[in-house]
Amino acid sequence: MRLKKMLGILVLLLVVSACSTNPFTGKQTMALVPNSQLFPTAFQQYDQVLKESKVVTGTSQSEMITRVGQRISIAAERWLNANGYSGYLKDYQWEYKLIDDKTVNAWCMPGGKIVFYTGILPIAESETGVAAIMGHEVAHALANHGQQRMSADYIQQGVALAGNIAIQNDNDRAAFNQYYGIGAQVGVMLPFSRSHETEADKIGLVLMAIAGYNPSEAAELWKRMKANSGGGAPPEILSTHPSNDTRIQEITSLVPMAVAEAKKFGITSFRPITKF
């Protein structure tokens, strides 16, 4: 029991002492892995992905990915500077690459390394659609969601270790591992991931609007995502992402907020939505 208490106190001290502030929400978030360690590792992984992939260069689509990415990152810097976070992006190394791959996906690594797969472009349908995706992915990096997920994983593993050390009976230990694994995943980690997706949607809307792209297109994008999924998504409670319907509804409700935020930066009209 004494060892269990000591481990619990140690985990609590680690969490309390290793927190950072999310500038977009004002919330304290877990940061057990500092960006000074996380970013270099992410950059190496990104370079490895590029070496193993067919990177598209010198085309109108690859140039568009770079153009949109630059506009979104500039919008992020403008917002951060205006809200008292000047220098927040000093360690970010923005890079935007298009990879020839049918995968319907895009992602941004911690520190600003971004990949779009050509497979997602038909669903994006326009430069504004690309901006909606770009804003969302950049938001994950800006809000340090990767750092938070790693921190949560470490805490989950630490609690599991503490339980296995503290529980002496083999049957009780087996039951703990079974129920803790399920409970931690469904009750903690999956809701944690879904909250990150919702947060990235909100931040992404603001960024695309400040960059001059109509945030209303984000809801239309997710309607196309829903159609492309064919209705095969798992129940929301068992998913890392909110359901398409939840997402569309939430994004639609946030559009006026994003428009109002863009007006603070002198953006009163948006680029026309022209399909590829």
Q: Which helix (H) or strand (E) holds 34?
A: none
Q: Is the pLDDT of residue 261 over 90?
A: yes
Distance CA 203, CA 198 (A): 9
Q: Which helix (H) or strand (E) holds 30?
A: strand 28-30
Q: Is the pLDDT of residue 153 over 90?
A: no
Distance CA 257, CA 25 (A): 14
Q: Would you say residue 31 lies in a domain?
A: yes
Distance CA 136, CA 251 (A): 11
Q: Would you say residue 136 lies in a domain?
A: yes
Q: Supply the CATH number for residue 162's domain.
A: 3.40.390
Residue 77 structural domain: 2-263
29, β-bridge pairs: 20
Q: Would you say residue 272 lies in a domain?
A: no
Q: Would you say residue 273 lies in a domain?
A: no
Paired tokens of 26: 């004002």
For 22-54, what is each residue's pLDDT tens digit? 788 777 776 667 878 889 999 999 999 999 999
Of 96, 109, 101, whose CA–CA distance to 52 is shortest?
101
Mean pLDDT value of segment 188-193: 57
Q: How many domains does the chain have?
A: 1
Of 45, 56, 52, whose CA–CA distance to 100 is shortest?
56
pTM: predicted TM-score of the whole model, two decimal places: 0.80
Q: Would you say residue 55 lies in a domain?
A: yes
Q: Would you say residue 249 lies in a domain?
A: yes
Q: Would you say residue 133 lies in a domain?
A: yes
Q: Would you say residue 270 lies in a domain?
A: no
Annotated catalytic residue 137: yes
pLDDT reported for residue 10:
45
C-beta of residue 185 within 8 angstroms of C-beta of residue 38? no
| Residue in 77, 95, 127, 137 annotated catalytic | 137
pLDDT reported for residue 31:
63
